[in-house]
């Protein structure tokens, strides 16, 4: 029954979303507390991944003997010529469900007898088990054992929280309180309790090392979270650099030159440019700001516009290039991987091989607008190409095709979200085919992952551009 009483004594239904979304963090906290409790009983532990652990002194062979479910699943996969390493997630899931027995009432005495029999059969007999228990009891009986564990936890808690905040802060401007507790507990597994971690977080908050922020999960739901003083300082440096760079440099091109460059680039593009792209490119080329921001919705060709602008500016960098054999034939689609203004080649530009002359070692390439050029297959300058069968969603921004095939793995949390999915499906003019490992899980993943970004600095602290000094151009 889904019912609980609120503070006023009224019956209400329970909203389980937060519990569901935090189930992994809750499970990690449970295992961390269990590890501390096992050490308090006098046992030593051996840490594994994801806050898992084993009791030191119990051999892997014995542990394996008690892993009945794993053995059942592996046996079912073996019947089908598969292993846990070669089977797909779906195949392993099927094997798991097929070997799962219905739950039934089990007499505890019978269960203990079965455990002892399994241990005996694995070579962990009564004598060995009792020796391990006696050793643990001797350790736990020492007068300072409990005090040492508590003191160790107090000393390690701050280090654990600092480590967790630094690790999470490297990847996210804002992270959830639950993730911070989970990561800190993983660092101090068996040595730090959840209460000690919570107290250390509070101390770091009061000291200004952690700063409260609202964390938005992949579905856009709000949770308590933090950023770090380091992240805030880094963002302030970036904002200060942008502010000090306003009006500080000469424009790359004059307004007339910029207009010509934009018109020329738009003609060379394999898709039509809209007014927003043209205006953004002109603003970039004529800006007197050292840093210029380009804002636009997902899939509005921000990347394409910026790259085209840089090509017109003529930016070039030295790079090391090692030739790799590439088998091509007539009909293959290729992509250029380096800018070459003299030959009118654009990094990321596409072409189709229309003919190959094996005698002269040349290939004829037709561009998206029908223009042709010849590649010398033995010339290093002409070897900056690759097959263009597939592209990432990031690289495909700004492109359009009649038919699009999308590979979307529901487990790729950093690659599949609402924004990236929109970019992918909006590339097609006529049809889209989506291939995924699990349709239901993909739908759920997209619903749960909004693809929202965080900043460590609060929006109110970000300086607005002065009149006449636009931060950038917008694409709609």
R_g of the chain computed on alpha carbons: 30
Distance CA 449, CA 459 (A): 22
Q: What is the DSSP string of 368-425?
A: TTS-EEEEETT-GGG--EEE-S---TTTTTT--EEEEEEEE-TT-TTT-SHHHHHHHH
pLDDT tens digits, one per residue of 399-435: 778 888 988 887 776 667 777 788 888 888 888 888 8
pTM score, whole prediction: 0.59
Q: Is 146 left (phi over 0), alpha (psi -120 to 50) or beta?
A: alpha
pLDDT at residue 301, as a whole number:
61
pLDDT tens digits, one per residue of 122-177: 899 999 999 999 999 999 999 899 999 999 999 999 999 999 999 999 888 899 99
Beta bridge partners of 214: 224
E-state strands within 221-292: 222-228
Structure tokens at 92: 């392993």
Q: What phi and psi values does residue 402 have, to the nearest 5 degrees?
A: -65, -45
pLDDT at residue 476, as a whole number:
41
Distance CA 138, CA 146 (A): 13
Q: What is the DSSP string of 27-49?
A: HHHHHHHHHHHHHHTT--EEE-S
Cα angle vertex 285, ends 279, 288, to 5°?
110
pLDDT at residue 22, as a whole number:
76
Q: Residue 9's CB: how many other CB atoms inside 10 A? A: 6
At 318, the pLDDT band (50, 70, 90 cuts) reads very low
Structure tokens at 179: 């993730």
Q: Is the pLDDT of residue 83 over 80?
A: yes
Which range among 201-210, 258-267, 361-370 shows the weakest confidence by mean pLDDT? 258-267
The arithmetic mean of pLDDT across residues 47-55, rounded, is 84
pLDDT at residue 317, as a whole number:
42
pLDDT at residue 463, as a whole number:
54
pLDDT at residue 467, as a whole number:
45
pLDDT at residue 35, as a whole number:
92
Mean pLDDT of the chain: 82
Distance CA 405, CA 424 (A): 9
Q: What is the DSSP string of 87-136?
A: S-HHHHHHHHHHTPPPP----HHHHHHHHHHHHHHTT--HHHHHHHHHHH
């Amino acid at each position: 029954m889904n019912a609980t009483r609120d503070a006023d004594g009224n019956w209400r239904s329970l909203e389980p979303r937060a519990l569901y979304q935090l189930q992994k963090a809750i499970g990690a906290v449970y295992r961390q507390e269990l590890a501390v409790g096992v050490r308090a009983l006098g046992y030593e532990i051996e840490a594994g991944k994801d806050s898992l652990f084993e009791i030191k002194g119990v051999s892997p062979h014995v542990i394996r003997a008690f892993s009945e479910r794993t053995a059942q699943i592996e046996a079912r996969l073996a019947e089908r010529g598969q292993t846990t390493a070669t089977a797909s997630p779906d195949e392993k899931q099927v094997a798991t469900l097929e070997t799962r027995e219905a739950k039934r009432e089990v007499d505890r005495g019978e269960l203990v007898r079965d455990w002892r029999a399994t241990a005996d059969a694995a070579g962990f007999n009564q004598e060995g088990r009792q020796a391990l228990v006696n050793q643990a009891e001797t350790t736990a009986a020492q007068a300072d054992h409990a005090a040492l564990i508590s003191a160790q936890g107090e000393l390690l808690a701050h280090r654990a929280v600092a480590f967790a905040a630094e690790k999470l802060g490297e990847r996210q401007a804002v992270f959830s309180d639950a993730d911070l507790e989970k990561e800190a507990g993983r660092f101090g597994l068996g040595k730090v309790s959840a209460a000690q971690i919570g107290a250390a977080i509070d101390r770091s908050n009061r000291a200004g090392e952690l700063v409260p922020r609202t964390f938005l999960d992949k579905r856009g739901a709000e949770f308590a979270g933090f950023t770090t003083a380091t992240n805030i300082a880094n963002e302030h440096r970036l904002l200060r650099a942008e502010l000090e760079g306003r009006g500080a440099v000469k424009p790359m091109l004059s307004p007339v030159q910029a207009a010509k460059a934009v018109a020329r680039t738009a003609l060379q593009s394999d898709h039509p440019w809209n007014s927003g792209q043209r205006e953004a490119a002109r603003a970039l080329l004529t800006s007197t700001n050292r840093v210029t921001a380009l804002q636009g919705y997902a899939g509005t060709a921000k990347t394409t516009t910026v790259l085209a602008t840089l090509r017109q500016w003529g930016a070039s960098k030295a790079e090391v290039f090692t030739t790799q054999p590439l088998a091509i034939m007539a009909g293959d689609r290729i992509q250029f991987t380096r800018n070459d203004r003299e030959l009118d080649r654009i990094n990321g530009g596409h072409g189709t091989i229309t003919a190959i002359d094996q005698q002269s070692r040349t290939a004829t390439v037709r561009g998206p607008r029908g223009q042709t050029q010849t590649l010398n297959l033995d010339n290093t300058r002409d070897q900056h190409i690759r097959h263009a069968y597939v592209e990432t969603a990031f690289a495909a921004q700004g492109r359009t095709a009649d038919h699009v095939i999308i590979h979307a793995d529901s487990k790729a949390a950093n690659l599949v979200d609402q924004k990236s999915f929109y970019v992918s499906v909006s590339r097609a003019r006529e049809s889209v085919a989506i291939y995924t490992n699990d349709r239901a899980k993909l739908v759920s993943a997209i619903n749960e992952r909004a693809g929202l970004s965080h900043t460590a600095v609060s929006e109110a602290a970000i300086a607005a551009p002065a009149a006449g000094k636009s931060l950038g151009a917008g694409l709609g």
